[in-house]
């Protein structure tokens, strides 16, 4: 290949854009290709929720959030840590802060100022960004091939694919790239929804009254796994952080009955003691509200499981473990991220495809998943940086 040819980065999300930043900072010519009419749409949507960039918890706990892919991602997350990501954002003029849960956000609480500053820096370094450029694969000569109406075939010195996963396809990452790679002998695990809500057959009364309300400071249990957090009641079922933290487990076991602990800070005996102090004349709802501070939603949830027992011990046991039947996960189109993607066995330690030397991959298109909490963006950025450094040291 031509020594002066540019590195092609295909897919202008967080992974691709940070890679373009690293490559161009080192003086490489870079051309970015993006299938949508504008860049980083998913990143901008992520910003609507405040843009949870990363997490401040100790690294040993942080890395565990990546489950089965933790061993593969560990060197990349050590090379580009949450502190490095914070420094990078701050270098682009975006000060950050640590929220009460340990999550890290830009003070602007949105993605657009960070994105604008990054695009300005890339433009200053001469990085060409081609939008409405859907990559389809390679032509017979090995040049990158784009859909009709897009750029002409492009001959790159190296190619970095950062095409994202398959969730929220209308934002751009639709996973259709998988076929082009499979045809070339790259193993791609099927996409599955991660960080997604589950359908629950709520009663009509419960759905009408409580959809849109959060269950705060609860714990969810599924088999041996338990997480504390929040969940949101929706018309279709249940979603939110506590559920997302159990994504892989719930997806594997659904339909499955989970148990919600409405008072994780209290023991069953502690709840019983508080119930025992209630006024004899009080209704069940006011007892639960006054003695335990349960919200109308929490009380409603107890009723969803059937008529609540009056006897204190049985009621305390129910409050510690309200059964909720999760019927099925919502689809990829409603998932915050996807599991599946390029198998780790298909890449070398540089994130170069073994079947296609000179072609690197990064971001959510690799086969890893993590809960919400900043872990998704952190690994997308870290793998982008890793692949860019690997290209630089070619």
Q: Are strands 103-106 and 54-55 parallel, antiparallel or unpaired?
A: antiparallel
Task: Indicate whether 32 belongs to the interface with ligand FAD (CB under 6 A).
Answer: no
Q: Sketch the per residue contact string, 299 through 318, with ligand FAD: x for CB under 6 A, - otherwise.
A: --------------------
Task: Indicate whether 14 belongs to the interface with ligand FAD (CB under 6 A).
Answer: yes
Min CB(112)–ligand FAD separation in Å: 14
Task: Indicate whether 239 belongs to the interface with ligand FAD (CB under 6 A).
Answer: no
Q: Sketch the per residue contact string, 185 through 224, with ligand FAD: x for CB under 6 A, - otherwise.
A: ----------------------------------------
Total residues in contact with ligand FAD, by rule CB under 6 A = 39
Nearer to ligand FAD, 42 or 389 (CB): 42
Task: Indicate whether 62 belongs to the interface with ligand FAD (CB under 6 A).
Answer: no
Task: Indicate whether 43 belongs to the interface with ligand FAD (CB under 6 A).
Answer: yes
Burial 50-77 (b: 16+ CB within 10 A, else e): ebbbbbbbeeeebbebbeebeebbeebb
DSSP code per residue over 131-177 = -S--EEEE-TTS-EEE-TTSPPPB--SEEEE----SSSGGGS--STH
Instruction: DSSP letter for 6, please.
Output: P
Min CB(221)–ligand FAD separation in Å: 25
- Stretch of 39-47, 72-80, 226-234, 277-285 contacting ligand FAD, by CB under 6 A: 39-47
Nearer to ligand FAD, 16 or 240 (CB): 16
- Closest residue by Cα to residue 365 from 220, 181, 234, 242: 181
Task: Indicate whether 22 belongs to the interface with ligand FAD (CB under 6 A).
Answer: no
Per the CB < 8 A criterion, the answer to whether 245 and 229 are in contact is: yes
Q: Is the dihedral of CA 107, 193, 187, 175 positive or negative?
A: negative
How far is the CA of 320 from the CAs of 14, 168, 264, 271, in angstroms?
41, 35, 7, 9
Task: Indicate whether 154 belongs to the interface with ligand FAD (CB under 6 A).
Answer: no
Task: Indicate whether 33 belongs to the interface with ligand FAD (CB under 6 A).
Answer: yes
Distance between alpha carbon 18 and the CA centroid of its chain, in Å?
A: 18
Min CB(287)–ligand FAD separation in Å: 39
3-state secondary structure of 309: coil
Nearer to ligand FAD, 144 or 316 (CB): 144
Please list every residue from 253 through 282 that binds ligand FAD, using CB under 6 A: none
Per the CB < 8 A criterion, the answer to whether 359 and 159 are in contact is: yes
- Stretch of 38-46, 214-222, 282-290, 300-308 contacting ligand FAD, by CB under 6 A: 38-46
Per the CB < 8 A criterion, the answer to whether 251 and 192 are in contact is: yes
Task: Indicate whether 134 belongs to the interface with ligand FAD (CB under 6 A).
Answer: yes
Tell me whether residue 264 is exposed, middle or buried, using C-beta atoms within 10 angstroms of its C-beta: 0 to 12, 13 to 18, 19 or more. middle
- Stretch of 48-56, 65-73, 206-214, 216-224 contacting ligand FAD, by CB under 6 A: 48-56
- Closest residue by Cα to residue 246 from 265, 266, 228: 228
In whole angstroms, give the CA distance from residue 278 to residue 258.
29
* Residues making contact with ligand FAD (CB under 6 A): 10-16, 33-36, 41-43, 45-46, 49, 51-52, 133-135, 162-164, 167-168, 172-173, 177, 336-337, 363-364, 374-377, 380
């Amino acid at each position: 290949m031509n020594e002066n040819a540019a590195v092609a980065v295909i897919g202008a999300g967080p992974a691709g854009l940070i890679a373009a930043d690293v490559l161009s900072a080192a003086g490489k010519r870079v051309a970015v290709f993006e299938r949508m009419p504008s860049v980083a749409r998913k990143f901008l949507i992520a910003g609507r929720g405040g843009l949870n960039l990363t997490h401040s918890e100790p690294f040993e706990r942080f890395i565990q959030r990546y489950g089965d892919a933790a061993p593969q991602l560990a060197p990349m997350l050590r090379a580009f840590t949450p502190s490095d990501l914070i420094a990078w954002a701050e270098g682009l003029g975006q000060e950050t802060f640590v929220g009460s849960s340990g999550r890290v956000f830009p003070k602007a609480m949105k993605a657009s100022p960070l994105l604008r500053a990054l695009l300005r820096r890339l433009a200053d370094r001469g990085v060409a960004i081609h939008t409405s450029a859907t990559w389809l694969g390679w032509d017979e000569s090995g040049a990158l091939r784009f859909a009709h109406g897009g750029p002409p075939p492009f001959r790159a010195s190296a190619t970095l694919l950062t095409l994202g996963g398959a969730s929220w396809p209308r934002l751009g990452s639709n996973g259709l790239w998988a076929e082009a790679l499979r045809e070339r002998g790259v193993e791609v695990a099927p996409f599955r929804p991660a960080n997604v809500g589950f359908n629950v057959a709520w009663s009509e009364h419960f759905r009408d009254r409580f959809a849109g309300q959060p269950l705060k400071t609860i714990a969810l249990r599924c088999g041996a796994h338990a997480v504390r957090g929040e969940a949101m009641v929706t018309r279709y079922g249940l979603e939110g952080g506590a559920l997302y933290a159990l994504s892989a487990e719930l997806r594997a076991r659904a339909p499955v009955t989970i148990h919600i602990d409405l008072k994780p800070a209290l023991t069953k005996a502690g709840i019983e003691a508080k119930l025992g102090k209630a006024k004899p004349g009080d209704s069940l709802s006011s007892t639960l509200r006054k003695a335990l501070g349960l919200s109308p939603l929490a009380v409603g949830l107890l009723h969803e499981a059937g008529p609540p027992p009056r006897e204190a011990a049985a009621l305390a046991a129910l409050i510690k473990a309200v059964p909720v039947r999760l019927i099925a996960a919502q689809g990829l189109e409603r998932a915050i991220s996807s599991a599946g993607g390029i198998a780790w066995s298909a890449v070398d330690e540089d994130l170069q495809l073994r079947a296609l030397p000179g072609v690197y991959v990064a971001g959510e298109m690799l086969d890893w998943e993590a809960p919400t909490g900043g872990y998704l963006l952190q690994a997308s950025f870290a793998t982008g940086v890793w692949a860019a450094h690997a290209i630089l040291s070619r």
